[in-house]
Amino acid sequence: MQLKKIVIVGGGAAGWMSACLMAQQWRGDIAITLVESSAIGTVGVGEGSTPFLRDFFQTLNIPEDEWMPACNATYKCGIRFPGWSSREDFASYFHPFNTELDQSGAIQFFKDCYARRMGYDLTPVPDDYFAASAIAKMGRAPFARMSDGSVQVATDYGYHFDSHLLGEFLKQHAKRLGVVHIDDKVVDVKCTEAGGIDSVQLAQSGRLAGDFFVDCTGFKSLLMREALAVPFISCQDRLSNNAAVALPARYAEDKAQKSAQPQARFPTETIAQAMPYGWMWRIPLTQRWGNGYVFDRNYADFDQIEAQLREQLGSACDDFSARRIMWEPGRLQHHWEKNCIAIGLSQGFLEPLEAPMLRIIQFTCERFVELYQSDGLSGRAQQRFNQSVNQLIDGNIDYLQAHYLVSSRTDTAYWKTVQNNQVMSPELARLLRAWRSKESFDSVLSELSDALVYHKTSWYCLLAGKGEFNLPTKQAPASAHAPKQRLKEYNAKGAQNCLLTEGG
């Protein structure tokens, strides 16, 4: 079957990212219509991305100086994790986006992690080995000015941005690509005798038919879960967080930071700070901070969490109202059913840690485009699509759960419970056993490569950064500390050549 018309139901980041990618690929060949209701809000509260989002904008041929100012965006060199560990020397760590420039640092990091696992008294915190950590610490952008005056990328990077503004920006771009936009509310979904989607009934515009449908209706999952009855698989037993309070705050002058960074305007790191009943995100946008507290409703209620969050932020949040969000962590059993795919919250949600959702949205849409181009709407394409999307989500579940399993806070029942959770995938259990023993961790990573989403450096940063080591039993020779110190000094010197942040 040759597609002639695709109907995307729902807007927001998921809907408009999908519309842009599909229109970019099939402009003039397939008609694309997006229907959304302006009366229905989106969940977006400000976001951080991984470097994959750079590929998205490059695919659309949209330069940074066009979209970043429109979305209050800033650069992101990585994520800082304070408060997750109570182990000495591991109170906080920075998880970088690394590049080829970090090759020598990464190799030394892996060596020092191995030595510590073997019992030597070393402290391999990721901050000391990767250029991005020094760049972020100085509040600089991921671009270096070379001796000839040119500017080059110094380290891989992602972005921070306002997701509402991003959705609006992508809406206008999609419309320029020929996407038809209908502002209306879906009041009914009509199915064919074969069980697929025939059309959606709109409150004002009547019947809207299509060959293929994309469900971007958020947690409601109007097409996939309600109309097509695709089962939802909860992972609440592995990722217990199921709620968040989001609360913006204005920038407040930080005298200590101003002294250390007299010209830097915006931080280039996301903060994921452990709190008594979960963790708090801090995302620096050009106009304000985006903040939120992710937690498990079994241990605290919304009023308690908002009070803790406001106390943490101080008067900078006094002029803002908080948003309260609930979800059940998990995913659909499959993401392509009949003539419909789910993209975004309609296909499931895990939690905001490590900013996985945008990557899942982007991958899901790109994978569908790729498979339709090669295999059409065949059963083979559908099977490969569902398998790869589930693999991505399940790999993210493993990586997210590992953050909690190796944390060492014991100040509340929440932290004791998530650390002692015995429900995990065989792959994650295998990885943790290998790391905690003297087994070759690299061999196990290779053995499980088909099931893992995050690469070697990410796993090392997570486990070493949180101090997941036995107590040292051997004194490391003084010479063992020299390479780490030289790397730290080298990265700090290189960071001085990076541009001070000026926003998008």
Structure tokens given for 496: 């001085």
- Give, to the nearest 10 degrees, the angle between helix 482-495 and helix 103-117: 150
Q: What is the pLDDT of residues 136-151, one digit of tens each?
A: 999 999 999 888 889 9
Spatial separation of the C-alpha atoms in residues 418 and 298, rounded to whole Å: 12
Taking CA atoms, 472 is separated from 61, 76, 194, 466, in Å, by 51, 34, 64, 15
Which of 76, 137, 466, 484 is flagged as catalytic? 76
- Strand 323-326 relative to strand 243-246, pairing: antiparallel
- Among 236, 235, 226, 234, residue whose Cα is nearest residue 337: 226
pLDDT recorded at residue 265: 79
Q: Give the number of other CB atoms < 10 A from CB of residue 52.
A: 15
Q: Would you state the pLDDT for residue 254?
A: 46
Check the CA dihedral 418-335-78-163 and report its sign. Answer: negative
Instruction: Say how far apart CA 73 and CA 67 lie, in whole Å.
Output: 8
Please give the backbone phi and psi of residue 497, each rounded to the nearest 5 degrees, phi first: -85, -10
**Which pLDDT does position 244 carry in this prediction?**
97
What is the total residue count of the chain? Answer: 504
Domain extent listing, the chain: 5-46+162-237+328-397, 243-256+267-325
CB-based contact 248:164 (threshold 8 Å): no
Pick the CATH number of 5-46+162-237+328-397 from 1.10.3720.10, 3.30.70.3270, 3.50.50.60, 3.40.50.970: 3.50.50.60
pLDDT in tens, 79-107: 999 999 999 899 999 999 977 789 999 99
Residue 145, pLDDT score:
87
SS3 of 107, please? helix
pLDDT of residue 39: 82
Task: Report, as ranges of residue numbers, the positions in the chain whose pLDDT lies below 70.
Answer: 41-46, 253-264, 502-504
Burial class (CB in 10 A: 0-12, 13-18, 19+), 471: exposed
Its pTM stands at 0.95
The pLDDT of residue 451? 92
pLDDT of 49 reads 94
pLDDT at 258 (0 to 100): 44
Q: Give the per-residue pLDDT at 43.
A: 65
Partners of 33 in the β-ladder: 7, 180
Which tokens belong to 321?
Answer: 């109202």
Selection from 332, 391, 388 nearest residue 365 by Cα? 388
Strands 330-332 and 232-234: antiparallel
- 58, amino acid identity: Q
Burial label for 499, CB within 10 Å (0-12, 13-18, 19+), is: middle
Q: Mapping DSSP to helix (H, G, I), strand (E, B) and coil, where does residue 273 land?
A: strand
Q: Is 456 a catalytic residue?
A: no
**Residue 468 CB-half CA count within 13 A:** 24
> Tokens 């209620």, residue?
301
